């Protein structure tokens, strides 16, 4: 009977340790920064293409923040440092926008980005974007213009054929 009591006390003590450790331990999740979107726009004053890179990163404090954003422009990597002189304020919200000036874009490069946290390291690369991208409205307008132009030239061509046909029919009929 004596060993049975010791075994029961051991089981109870182990169970108590498990309950105490579960109650005292707070789960910690890594807060890796994520680039959730990239939008491109053209500055009218100098025709430079500007990327607005949206970054989400929670839990800002003086030792835990996004230190840089890396941009991949068709294989060429550029790093944007987010220091004290940076125009990006990470203290206001966990979502912030980092601007990147691509200069004048003459072709259609592909762009993706990633952010780097001082504590958790780099996040994954964002989805690839082709710059300049066409909005749905621009695409619809282009298709409408092309359709109208095709119909115009088709109608004009049919009208010319009708004149030729009518002129030929008149000469045959002798009018």
pLDDT tens, residue by residue, 96-143? 999 999 999 888 899 999 999 999 899 999 989 888 755 566 667 777
- SS3 for 88-131 is CCCCCCCEEEEEEEEECCCCCCEEEEEEEECCCEECCCCCCEEC
> Model-level pTM?
0.60
In 3-state terms, what secondary structure has residue 163? helix
Mean pLDDT of the chain, nearest integer: 79
Identity of the highest mean pLDDT range in 27-31, 67-71, 170-174:
67-71
Q: What is the pLDDT of residue 145?
A: 83
What whole-number distance in Å separates Cα of residue 119 and Cα of residue 67?
Answer: 10
Q: Among residues 156, 112, 108, which one has the least CA distance to residue 133?
A: 108
């Amino acid at each position: 009977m004596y060993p049975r009591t010791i075994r029961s006390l051991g089981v109870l003590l182990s169970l108590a340790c498990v309950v105490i450790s579960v109650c005292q331990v707070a789960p910690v999740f890594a807060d890796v920064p994520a680039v959730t979107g990239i939008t491109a726009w053209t500055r009218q004053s100098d025709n430079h293409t500007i990327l607005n890179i949206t970054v989400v990163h929670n839990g800002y404090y003086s030792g835990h923040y996004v230190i840089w954003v890396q941009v991949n422009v068709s294989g060429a990597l550029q790093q944007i440092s987010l220091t004290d002189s940076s125009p990006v304020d990470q203290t206001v919200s966990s979502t912030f926008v980092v601007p990147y000036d691509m200069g004048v874009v003459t072709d259609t490069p592909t762009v993706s980005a990633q952010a780097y946290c001082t504590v958790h390291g780099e996040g994954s690369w964002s989805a690839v974007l082709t710059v300049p991208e066409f909005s749905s409205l621009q695409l619809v307008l282009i298709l409408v213009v092309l359709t109208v132009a095709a119909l115009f030239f088709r109608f004009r061509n049919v009208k010319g054929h009708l004149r030729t046909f009518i002129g030929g029919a008149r000469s045959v009929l002798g009018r």
